[in-house]
Amino acid sequence: MARLAQLALSEDELDAFTSQLAAVLDHAADLEALNVDDVEPSTHPFPLKNILRIDEPGESFDIEEVFEVAPDIEESQFRVPPILGEA
């Protein structure tokens, strides 16, 4: 799970988290006894559907402000370490 979530954990952390998460899942086991096969799932509390905005250009963020808080930029682009192979 840690790998899927892009987190690197030490052996000690893995042990601690495993038992803590097991406790939460144990608590959630009370749901197992419920028969909800005939109940529809809810993803959202309010019945709004297909909310689209009018397709016209609006005001955008100030690009200077966006780059000011970026970790690394080069010529108006975000700079990242190599993705594949050698740099």
φ, ψ of residue 18 to 5 degrees: the values are -60, -45
For another protein, the binding residue among 12, 15, 56, 72 (CB under 8 A) is 72
Q: Site mask, another protein, residues 5-44, x = CB under 8 A? A: xxxxx-------x--xx-xxx-xx-xxx-x-x--xxxxxx
**Residue 76 found at the interface with another protein (CB under 8 A):** no
Q: How many amino acids of this chain bind another protein (CB under 8 A)?
A: 46
Residue with tokens 């100030």, as numbered in its chain: 62
**Residue 75 found at the interface with another protein (CB under 8 A):** no
For another protein, the binding residue among 62, 74, 75, 76 (CB under 8 A) is 62
For another protein, the binding residue among 45, 55, 57, 74 (CB under 8 A) is 45
The answer to whether 72 and 78 are in contact (CB under 8 A) is yes
How is residue 63 written in tokens?
């690009």
Burial, 9: exposed, middle or buried (Cβ in 10 Å; 0-12, 13-18, 19+)?
Answer: middle
